[in-house]
Structure 1
Amino acid sequence: MTNSKKDQNKEKSDKNSNRSPPRNERIQKKVEKEEMTLDVTQEMSEKSSQKFQIDKEKGSEQHQNKIILSGYSTRRVRYKKSEPDEKSVNIDADLVRNNDKTLRDEDWFLEKIEKCKSKKLQRTCVCPFPPCYRIVDAIDGLKGKWQRVKRVSFLCCCPPFCCLIQRSAFWPPRREYYFFKPPPNDISFQVNEESEAILMRDRKKKLKKLKRAKACIPGEMYRFGLSHPCAEDVKHAKGFALKTANGNTIACIHIPCPDVSSSPRFTLLYSHPNGSDLSDHLVGVPSLIDLARFYRCEVYSYDYSGYGISGGIASEHNLYADIRAIYQYITMEKHVDPSRIVLLGFSIGSAATVELLKEEKDRKPPAGVILQAPPTSLLRVFGNMIGRKKHLEKPTCCLDRFVTIDKIHEVTIPILVIHGKDDKTVPIEHGELICQRAVTKVFPLVTPEWVPDAAHDNIENCRVVWKRIRKFIRE
């Protein structure tokens, strides 16, 4: 009996052992199971949060504006609520912001401007998404159309034929900047997030904006502000106003040499094309600040009468008075030796530059002059547009304007002509003809630079141009 009972107890214990493991093993398995479930839930939560962030970013991208920047004719800063364009380049903030990388890495800078050569640039706007953005977009589009209507009406408002030719040369863009005097407690900061964009917008509302150069006090320096709410102020540009001989007040800027340890190598006076103003050349790539950094120089520039916040009407006579006023300011008030001044004229700015040299030929001349895509005259450019080719070497018509071809032989300082071979607006024949007429007995012409694969709008974005200008200045 005892043996049978022992056997029965043993069988029961074996069955119980098969049914459930010991307590320690049960606890360990339970902990492992809980850890596995935690890992799975954590992975699921991470995936879901990651997905939520991606969806959130996608959703926010749909409501963000885009800043379009490019060459001078399309360098206007436009704010769009649309997806990125396939023909554009998405750039980071370092590409647009004014950092000191050009002082340290030349290859990086030249690669940057080459990247922006054939495509538009895009930068995301971080302004808060307005509830009535479609109405704001419609109003902004109407403003642009209204400005075009005003410009066409101004051209066709019963002028004589000579005035019509002159007016058609100027196409001032919409004003996108202002001057201001910063208050005592003003702090400049970079805008990267929506909260910072709100702070920048509130800060700009409190500033006393000077949207007309006539409101500026002569001799005082001002900060350069951009009209868009989240656009950062241009830190390195100092604005001031000048009175011209024609009675107009024009806006000017001075960009000091970024290399504080040494004095600037020379002073550059830049005259911009007819379809841009100062804001385009301070925000675009490349900018005037890039000029100052790359060449280790100080840069002066100005807005023509009728451009930006400058007063008066855009005309040939006012254009010549504008460049004369800033040149006298540099030489007489700032006491810069003319032998340390280099003039750079782009497109219609080359006509103003040559006229200044013609007037200053009896005085101490500047060190040199650079002409980028210079037109021979306005009627010759129009003749090229309608397909005429043999009119370039014909005598100048009495109605023609900005006749650089008849003045270039009076320039007796070194001249560097830079022209793009693919230029359709001002063909390369204009640059070649200027080179032929510019050779004088006083000083031979410097070897010109004909840039392959460069058009009228993107010649500034060519690596060859920057290196050629530096070589010209050294020689």
Structure 2
Amino acid sequence: MSSFREICEIFCCPPFPSKIASKLAFVPPEPSYSLVNDTENNFSLRFQESAEWQYTADEKIYVEGIYTRTKRGNKIACFHMKCCDDAVYTILFSHGNAVDMGHMSSFYCGLGKWLNCNVFSYDYSGYGASEGTPTEKDLYADIEAAFLVLTTKYKVKPAHVILYGQSIGTVPTVDLATRQQVGAVILHSALMSGLRVLCPGTSRTWFFDAFPVIDKIEKVTVPTLVIHGKNDNVIDISHGFRIYERCPKAVEPLWVEGHGHDDVDCRCGAYLERLRFFIHVELAQQ
């Protein structure tokens, strides 16, 4: 909760959106992996101990690390994880803050196997093995570049792409979903906007706000699943409620009892079952 003085400073001397974004969102960790160039277009993936890869060395061969370049000029790292031979959908995962793809790799592998989906992810500019400095504009360019690789190099049809955003990852996820007709969207611990996180009770989007997810969600026209922990003390569950209410194609949401911001994961049975039902039952009925 911001102090009264901080709130007055924000509204009397409004910051640029980039200032809100940097205060709220971007804390790149020490890289937990590296991509070592073996040949011109072939990279070996090497995990640091901090990545805590939980699977075998044989299973790691199904994780392909590549680079692509965004329209803003940054070279960003991507992972393609072939979790299933017969997967219909590929999840394009935009992770949360203070982690990179190495930290998320075991989660991606487990999630893909459980859901019978392949997983594609990318690191934001300035995260992991990606170049540059993270900004709001770079978030949008990063996911756009990742989507292009997924649909061209890996030849996944847009209708077979499920966009999954977690926390700050919901920002580029919703932005891309307003511009691409994908198969579905999953929003996990989503935020309405940057200022609404910093100053709870803010009821409108000011011109100096960052990450205006709440204003873009009305333009998302594919099935959308909203997931939020009821005990989230980073992004209050009220953000999830409002996004669900404003989303024209929202399916039944999942409000997770007894869980917060970072602990709704593969250890949570209700989470896994809701995802599985969404992908294999509700999407099949569309």
**Selected match of 2:262 from 432, 457, 470:** 457
Structure 2: which amino acid aligns with 1:266?
Y
Structure 2 residue 211 is matched with structure 1 residue 402: yes
Matches within 5 A, 1:193-232: 217=40, 220-228=41-49
Partner of 2:235: 426
Counterpart contact for 1:343–1:353, Cα < 8 Å: yes
Counterpart contact for 1:223–1:235, Cα < 8 Å: no
Counterpart contact for 2:32–2:50, Cα < 8 Å: no
Structure 2: which amino acid aligns with 1:401?
A
> How far apart are 1:414 and its partner, in Å?
0.4
Q: Structure 2 CA distance, aligned partners of 1:332 and 1:345?
A: 21
Partner of 2:65: 239
Matches within 5 A, 1:292-371: 292-360=112-180, 365-371=181-187
SS in 2 for 1:167: helix
Counterpart contact for 1:223–1:237, Cα < 8 Å: no
Q: Structure 2 CA distance, aligned partners of 1:339 and 1:174?
A: 35
Counterpart contact for 1:416–1:445, Cα < 8 Å: yes
Partner of 2:95: 272
Partner of 2:6: none
Q: Summarize the Cα distance change of 1:226–1:379 in structure 2 as closer, same or farther, 3 Å threshold.
A: same
Structure 1: which amino acid aligns with 2:244?
C
SS in 2 for 1:359: coil
Q: Deviation per CA, 1:403-422, whole angstroms, max 9, x where unpaired?
A: 10000000000010001111
Structure 1: which amino acid aligns with 2:196?
R
SS in 2 for 1:324: helix
SS in 2 for 1:436: helix
How many residues are aligned here? 261
Q: Structure 1 CA distance, aligned partners of 2:150 and 2:170?
A: 19
Partner of 2:80: 254
Q: Summarize the Cα distance change of 1:179–1:255 in structure 2 as closer, same or farther, 3 Å threshold.
A: same
Q: Structure 2 CA distance, aligned partners of 1:421 and 1:221?
A: 43
> How far apart are 1:336 and its partner, in Å?
1.4
Counterpart contact for 2:95–2:167, Cα < 8 Å: yes
> How far apart are 1:264 and its partner, in Å?
1.3
**Selected match of 1:412 from 221, 226, 230:** 221
Q: Structure 2 CA distance, aligned partners of 1:323 and 1:368?
A: 15
Q: Structure 2 CA distance, aligned partners of 1:347 and 1:225?
A: 26
Counterpart contact for 1:454–1:462, Cα < 8 Å: no
Q: Structure 2 CA distance, aligned partners of 1:437 and 1:231?
A: 38
Counterpart contact for 1:421–1:450, Cα < 8 Å: yes
Counterpart contact for 1:255–1:299, Cα < 8 Å: yes
**Selected match of 2:32 from 157, 176, 181:** 176
Matches within 5 A, 1:45-124: none
Counterpart contact for 2:18–2:136, Cα < 8 Å: no
Partner of 1:467: 273
Q: Structure 2 CA distance, aligned partners of 1:472 and 1:176?
A: 32
Q: Structure 1 CA distance, aligned partners of 2:69 and 2:88?
A: 28
Partner of 2:8: none
Partner of 2:5: none
SS in 2 for 1:282: helix
SS in 2 for 1:407: helix
Q: Structure 1 CA distance, aligned partners of 2:130 and 2:166?
A: 19
Partner of 1:143: none
Structure 1: which amino acid aligns with 2:101?
L
Q: Structure 2 CA distance, aligned partners of 1:161 and 1:249?
A: 26
Matches within 5 A, 1:275-290: 275-283=98-106, 287-290=107-110
Q: Structure 1 CA distance, aligned partners of 2:51 and 2:130?
A: 24
Counterpart contact for 2:93–2:121, Cα < 8 Å: yes
SS in 1 for 2:62: strand
Which 5+ residue runs of structure 1 have no aligned equivalent?
1-159, 183-215, 385-389
SS in 1 for 2:207: coil
Structure 1: which amino acid aligns with 2:263?
N
Partner of 2:22: 167
Q: Summarize the Cα distance change of 1:424–1:338 in structure 2 as closer, same or farther, 3 Å threshold.
A: same
Which 5+ residue runs of structure 2 have no aligned equivalent?
1-14
| CA RMSD of superposed structures (Å) | 2.1
Q: Deviation per CA, 1:381-412, whole angstroms, max 9, x where unpaired?
A: 1113xxxxx32xx2211111011000000000
Higher strand content, 1 or 2: 2
Structure 2 residue 196 is matched with structure 1 residue 380: yes
Q: Which has the larger radius of gyration?
A: 1
Counterpart contact for 2:32–2:51, Cα < 8 Å: no
Q: State TM-score, norm by structure 1.
A: 0.52
Q: Structure 2 CA distance, aligned partners of 1:298 and 1:413?
A: 20
Structure 2: which amino acid aligns with 1:293?
K
Structure 2: which amino acid aligns with 1:354?
V
